[in-house]
Structures are given as C-alpha cells and as structure tokens.
Structure 1
Amino acid sequence: MIESTSLSASPDQAQKKQRVVVQLMKHKKEVGVPSNELVSRNATAGQKEQSTSEVRKDYVCTSAGRPEKTEVVKSVVTHQDASGNCELHLPVSSNCSAMESSEDSEEDLYRDAEEIEREKILRSEISFSEYKVSVAPEIDIMEYCRKEWRGNTPVAKRMRKGYEEVAQKFASIRRVRGDNYCALRATLFQALSQATQLPSWLQSEDFTMLPENLLSRYDWIKQWQLKEKLGRKMGEISDEIKECLILLRKKWKDISEIEDPIEKQDACDKLFKNEEEEYSLYEALKFLMLNTAIRLYNDDKNGRSVPVFSWLLFARDTSSNPCQLMQNHLNHIGHSGGLEQVEMFLLAYALQYTIQVYRLYKYSTDEFITLYPNDPEEDWPVVTLITEDDRHYNIPVRMCQETML
C-alpha cells in the first residue's frame, strides 16, 4: 500500500505545518473573502493567494446526474512554491451560472429554472435507463457540447471554448451516472480501460488481509457504513470488505490481461453494467482511501514527511483524525455526497495514479488543467476526466493508451 517518505521532520517543516493550520483556523472567521481554489500544473511558483473558508450551498449529483444543494464546507489545497511554502484554500461559492442550463434559448425566457432542470433530469434518466449502464456509450465531444451548451451566455461560451480545447486531444466523451459515486466511477473506469498490468500494490500478499489488520488495531472501523447497511459485527465487516478487495484485484487482473482494445472496452462496459460488482468495487476504493489516510496521519504524527494536502485533510473540523474522516466523509460518499476536492488527492494517492482533470469552467486560467496530485510521481499512470463544476465528472475517450507524465 501507500508508503510515505520516511524522513525526520525538520524545524522548517514543523514551522510550515504550524503556519498552515494556524492560517486555516484564522480564516475560518473570514467568510466570503474571494480566493483561488487549486494550483494547477501551470501555476506560477511563489504566487501569493488568499486563504479563505465559506460555508455555502454546494451541489452533489443526484441519481440523474444533476446538482442538488446541500450545506457543506468545501476544502482544497494549494502548494505555493518549490521551497515548500504553502497555503490552504477553502474555495468560495461557485457562481450558480456554472450550473446554467444547456437549454439557454429564447424559449427559456418563458420557462422557469425548475422546469428546465426537470426536463434535463428526465432526459438524462431516459438516456441511462436505455443503455442500462453506468457509463454511457461514447458520443462526439463537440456534438455533446453543442447539445448541452446552446446558449449565448458567458458561461455557455466558456464551456464551448473549454470543450474545443479538450477536443484537440480527445475525440469523444462518455457520460457518467451521477449518483455521488461519479468521481470514483470515472476514475476507476478510466484506470481499468487503460490498464496493461496489475499495479504493484494490488500484488501484495497482505493486500486482502488489510481489513482484518486494520480492525485489529482500530476498533472504530466497525462503524464503517458498507452498502448503506449498518449494525454489522466486526467480523462481518472485515469479511465483506475483504471480498470487495478480492473482487477489485480479480477484475483489474482480468481486464489488464486483455490485449485487444475493443475487447478491453467491452469487458469494462460489462463490469459497469453489473450493479452488485460495480458498487462493491467502490467500497474497495473507499477502504483503500481510509487505509491511505491512516498511513498519512500516522506518518505525520511520527514526524515523517507527508504530502501537503494531508495537512488540510486533517485540519478540517469534520476530519481531524482518520476516525472522523471515515464517519463524516467516507461513509457518506455515494450515499449523501461525493468526493470533495481534497479527497481527490487522497483517491490519487490510494490508487497511485495521477488524475488529470479538465475543469471547463476554469477555461483560460492556469487551473483549466489540474493534476491530483499536482506533483505526481513519474511512474504513476495517468487517467483523464472532465468536469464542468468540480462536482460531476465525465470521461474523455479515443486517446486510450496508458501514459506517463
């Protein structure tokens, strides 16, 4: 599994960490101060940014893939310069225009927003119901863009420009079902569809013993919410998570051994049509994220070097330790919420994959293409996703070979 660099914490590192946490606490009171969100791969070294927090109306994707308001505090992390100076940023509320309807036209002047939204939800539900798959068949990326963003508002124009940029490298797009698993679903689908070998961490002999080993050390893991069912005994939780991990390794191995790209895609499509297996895989991913968080937390407590994002992960009031992270965040993924930005970093570290995201509403800024993590390991494979709002993710395709940064 994930091993953090075993280096003793220097005085400079300790000061940096203290500065990070103090700054976060200080800015919790400064609600509404504008800030940038994440450092992309093109961010200028040493650039100074403000840090802020804001409790706001956020959105999570409903089963139809559309936004639904919910009160959350969104957290992200920024790494400022090569010397290690860093600041933490809690992004302010996204302009609601980022969620503007694709039906912007003259007739929209006579329909309210709710009516337009209901029509789009119905259309999305019909589409996924027709294909009975969590990842819809591919469609030409510019055809999809023209269908979804037909208006002349500034947001629609920005989205079209963003899609035009993506279309220079990817020919098609596959829509992902938005049931709060969309970040896990899109990432895993891309990883499997491009995989040519079994990752080393999946080959570990003690991989399937992970639930038993962790439960023997951390009694609170028995509160893990598995497939929306509570009240299991510790042994039952361990056995069920173990089955999920075994399934993940088996499916990854089977698909990576398929050489023909068409057959590989067919195998992925078949897997993501099997609801029971698909959601078991997400439980495995969430548990791997918990394991990674525990390792990072312990490494930090023992004075070892840890990625900058982990400081923010455990600086939140709702996740000051791995137990709270599980109870208040991981247990809710797929049920009442999706992945927050800082948890995209955690997912990347758990899989040892670089997640490259085209953030369309950030077109023409340095944050248009964002990497999780923003300083990835050279030997980590890369998967690419598309988002219009940092909440729902789709998949660009027709550039399918597994690549390295």
Structure 2
Amino acid sequence: MIESTGLSASAEEKKESVPTQLMKHQNEIGVASEELGSANAPADQKEQTISEITQDCVYRSSGRPEKTDMIKSLVMDQDASRNCALYVPGSSNRSAVESSEESEEDMYRDEEEIEREKILLSETNSSECKLSVSPEMDIMEYCRKEWRGNTPAAKRMRKGYEAVAQKFASIRRIRGDNYCAFRATLFQALSQATQLPRWLQSEDFTMLPENLLSKYDWIKQWQLRQKPGKRMGEIRDEIKKYLILLRQKWKNISEIKGPLEKQEACDELFKNEEEEYSLYEALKFLMLNTAIELYNADKSGKRVPVFSWLLFARDTSSNPCQLMHNHLNHIGHSGGLEQVEMFLLAYALQYTIRVYRLYKYSTDEFITLYPNDPEEDWPVVTLITEDDRHYNIPVRMCQETML
C-alpha cells in the first residue's frame, strides 16, 4: 500500500538510489538447463566472489553497458538479515537472543532504556505476543514507546518514524518468528487486493509441484513445515494443497468490496495458524519456481534481472538446488529472508515491495524498492524495518496504486 500522490516521482528517484552490484558473468551460454535435474549434480563453481562483482552492465544480453549503483550492502550483510526473529525493540522474541545481542543493544539504547524495556516485557500479556498482526497503533505513539533513549540510533529512528508519519497514520506490528517478511508482505497484498493476479488465474498454477518434481528429482528433499521426511508424492500433494489455498483465499478476499470487511477477513485469516503457515509454504515454493525460471533463462542466454546474478553468486546458492537446501528450507525455521531474497519474493508475487529502512534515515537507501526497476503494472505494498531483519506494516492514509 502506498499513497497515490507523488508516487511516480518517488519511484523514479529511488531507481538510482537502491544499491545494486553486478557480478562478472561466466561466458557459458551453452550450458544446458538440465544440469538442475539431479540433486547429486556438482554445484557450479563460481570464479568470482561477490566482492569481485563489478558494475559493467544491467543485463547479460543487453548489448550495451549501463551504470548502476552497488548492491553490495544488500548481499554482503547476510548474517544481519538472515534471521528476522532477532532483536526488535519491544518485541516478544528478544529474550531468545538476549545474550547474543547485548553488544547491539548497547549500540542502540542507553542502560536506562534497556531496563525499562525489561520491565515492559515482563508485563506484556503472553497471548498478545502470539498475535500474527497486532492491532493498529498511532505510528508516533509507537515510536515514542519503542525509542525513548537519547542515543544517536534512537534519535535516527525517531526521525525515520516522523518521515513515515507524513504518509501513514498508524502501524501494525508483525509477529517475529522468521516468517515476518512473508507475513507483512502477504497481509498488505491481501488487504488491498481488488482482483486475482494473472499468475494465480493460470490453469497450470496448481500443477507446479507435479511439473517441477517430474523434472528435478532433488525437490523431493523440500522440507515441509513440521512435516520432515515426506515422500515425493506426499510433498507434491501437500504443496498443491497450499497453492490451492492461496488462490482460494486471495480470490475470496479480493471479491470483498467494503474496506472494513476486507480488513476483518484478513485479520481472521492471520489468526488461523494452520492456514497462515500453509500460505507461507506456498510462497516459498513460488520463490523456488521463479528461481528455476531465472536460472534456466540465464543459462540459455536470455535477459534476466541483476538480482538473479547476485542470488546465484552466493557460495550457498550457486544453483536452485542449493538455494532450496541452504535457504528456502530454512526460512521460518532457523532464519528469515535475506536482502537479495526480498527481490525474489517480489518477482514471485509480481508485486513491488517498498520498504522504509529506518536505520538508513537521511541516506538514499531510506526508501528501498524490491525490485528497484519494477514493472509499471505491479501493485505496491509498503513495509517498515528498523534493521532489515524484522518487518512491520504502516496503515491508513493509503490506497492500492501502481508504480
């Protein structure tokens, strides 16, 4: 969601401000995409590390170089962005990582503020902490509650929230359990949906699990939430069920005309834990499908977006099989979305994800678009993050629009 006034100018301005980094690409156009067909196939060996990636051109087959900004800060800071259940001021998950985050707390808050937060946490109702999407709260009231110290970081956060408050009146806090990026993005998309996206209308949509499993045997190692060790047929049927659920829920909510009724339907959906987490499994599988399409397109010499090169430039995801094993299978369990994977999520949903990155206030990365060169007809959802690990959502004073 984003306000309707001044959007085009903002998007154009940010196209050059989003950090981008290019990799020196291999000249192996003739490599067949069938190398993905076995889980035992050796991973592609990258000749360049991410630090060696240059900014020579935007697309492999564009034929002429175009200057872009570096995306290094989005890719290299993987440890910081991996786990969105890490420290968020005032969140219910702080105790789980308290010992490992002491040094970070000292950077952000003074001693008095830390003690106040400990008291606040002990008084928080445990049932409220489990809410997937908390009720609306005035955005500046939320800011004053969370950032009361006089540290430079606290002052920067307050300035960031003041800037967001110029566009949005309220904020809704998202539960931080490593699904926060999925939860925030999907909630925003559904709450403003007015029609079923084209990719959800495809007749082949629910056949994705069967089609992919028939080509790539390694997908049978997909880790279903709380259902490890399933056989290939069971995985296929489970994922198909999740995709059908996603289409059904999206269709039902998009057909609701009244904004209040639509919000109530979204709130009800995100209170149903079984359905909610099934939707996240569907999103992960859509990300895998998108990654496979981009990987094969690049191998055949077709034009691909820059983030695709960066996604497969990592030692841990040099091909879709590794991406599944080392990243997608862990989302929601031991980690959240890394920055480059936010691009993949945006492409899978065909949505522009607009993020206020509060700790980047007063820099040209304060407002980041995923992707930074979105399609004109992609709807926009807006999120807020204080640290690139946990995401909340701004609400009010906004309506569905297009870039």
CA contact (8 A) 1:141 1:167 kept: yes
- CA-to-partner distance for each residue in 1:257-287, whole Å, 9 max, x for gaps? 0010000000000000000000000000000
In structure 2, which of residues 105, 108, 129 is the aligned counterpart of residue 100 of structure 1?
Answer: 108
The answer to whether residue 129 in structure 2 is matched with residue 147 in structure 1 is no
* Cα distance in 2 between the residues matched to 1:193 and 1:306: 30
1:17 match: 25
Residues 263 and 293 (structure 1 numbering): CA distance in 2 closer, same or farther, change over 3 Å?
same
Report % sequence identity.
75
- Aligned counterpart, 1:348: 346
Relative to structure 1, the CA distance from residue 188 to residue 47 in structure 2 (aligned partners, 3 Å threshold; closer, same or farther) is: closer
How far 1:67 sits from its partner (Å)?
Answer: 8.4
Contact 1:61 1:67 in 2 (8 A): no
Q: 1:156 and 1:213, CA in 2 relative to 1: closer, same or farther beyond 3 A?
A: same
Deviation larger for 393-402 or 216-225:
393-402
Q: Quote the residue 1:61 is aligned against.
A: 85
Distance 1:98 1:22 in 2: 40
- Counterpart of 1:257 in structure 2 is 255
- In the alignment, residue 273 of structure 2 is paired with which amino acid? E
- In 1, the alpha carbon distance for the partners of 2:195 and 2:78 equals 43
Match of 1:379 in 2: 377
Taking only aligned residues, the RMSD between alpha carbons, in angstroms, comes to 3.0
User: Shift of residue 230 of structure 1?
Assistant: 1.2
Task: Check 1:55–1:342 CA distance in 2 against 1; reply closer, same or farther (3 A cut).
Answer: closer
Map 1:126-145 → 2, pairs under 5 A: 126=125, 129-130=127-128, 133-145=131-143
> 2:133, 2:270 within 8 Å by CA — same for their partners in 1?
yes
Aligned partners of 1:356 and 1:369 also within 8 Å: yes
Letter in 1 for 2:108: E
Gaps of 5+ in 1: 1-13, 29-44, 71-94
Q: Which has the higher mean CA deviation after the structures are superposed, 219-228 or 384-393?
A: 219-228
Shift of 1:185: 0.2
Tell me the distance in 2 between the aligned counterparts of 1:181 and 1:99.
26
Aligned-partner Cα distance in 2 for 1:56–1:15: 20
1:79 alignment counterpart: none
Q: Secondary structure at the match of 2:49?
A: helix
Partner secondary structure for residue 225 of structure 2:
coil
Instruction: Specify the code of the residue in structure 1 equivalent to 2:85.
Output: C
SS state of the match for residue 220, structure 2? helix
TM normalised by structure 1 equals 0.78
Gaps of 5+ in 2: 1-21, 28-45, 54-66
Partner of 1:289: 287
The 5 Å alignment of 1:226-241 reads 226-241=224-239
Tell me the distance in 2 between the aligned counterparts of 1:131 and 1:263: 25
- Given that residues 84 and 337 in structure 2 are in contact (C-alpha distance below 8 angstroms), is that contact kept between their aligned partners in structure 1? no
- The aligned runs of 1:4-403 (5 Å cut-off) are 16-18=24-26, 24=49, 27=52, 53=76, 59-61=83-85, 64-66=92-94, 96=104, 100-101=108-109, 104=110, 107-108=112-113, 118-119=118-119, 121-122=121-122, 126=125, 129-130=127-128, 133-403=131-401
Number of residue pairs matched by the alignment:
343
Task: For 1:329 and 1:153, locate their aligned partners in 2 and report how far apart those are by CA, in whole Å.
Answer: 35
Three-state SS of the structure 2 residue aligned to 1:380 is coil
Q: Deviations over 1:88-115 (max 9, x none)?
A: xxxxxxx9369734xx47x45xxxx6x6
Tell me if structure 2 keeps the 8 A contact 1:64–1:179.
Answer: no
CA 1:355–1:53 in structure 2 vs 1: closer, same or farther (change >3 Å)? Answer: closer
**Aligned residues of 2:178 and 2:333 also touching (Cα < 8 A):** yes
Which letter maps to 1:64?
A: S
Residues 397 and 319 of structure 1: is their aligned pair in 2 closer, same or farther, counting only changes over 3 Å?
A: same
Runs (4+) of structure 1 moved beyond 2 Å? 14-19, 21-28, 45-60, 62-70, 95-101, 115-124, 130-133
Superposition deviation, residue 24 in structure 1: 2.8
Instruction: Tell me how far 1:401 sits from its aligned partner.
Output: 1.9
CA 1:344–1:49 in 2, change beyond 3 Å: closer, same or farther?
closer
Sort the Cα spacing of 1:188 and 1:140 in 2 relative to 1 into closer, same or farther, 3 A: same
- On the 8 A contact 1:193/1:400 being kept in 2, the answer is no
Q: CA deviation at 1:399?
A: 3.2
Kept after mapping to 1: 8 A contact 2:242/2:281: yes
Partner of 2:32: none
In the TM superposition, what is the alpha-carbon distance from 1:56 to its structure 2 partner? 5.5
Q: Which has the higher strand share?
A: 1
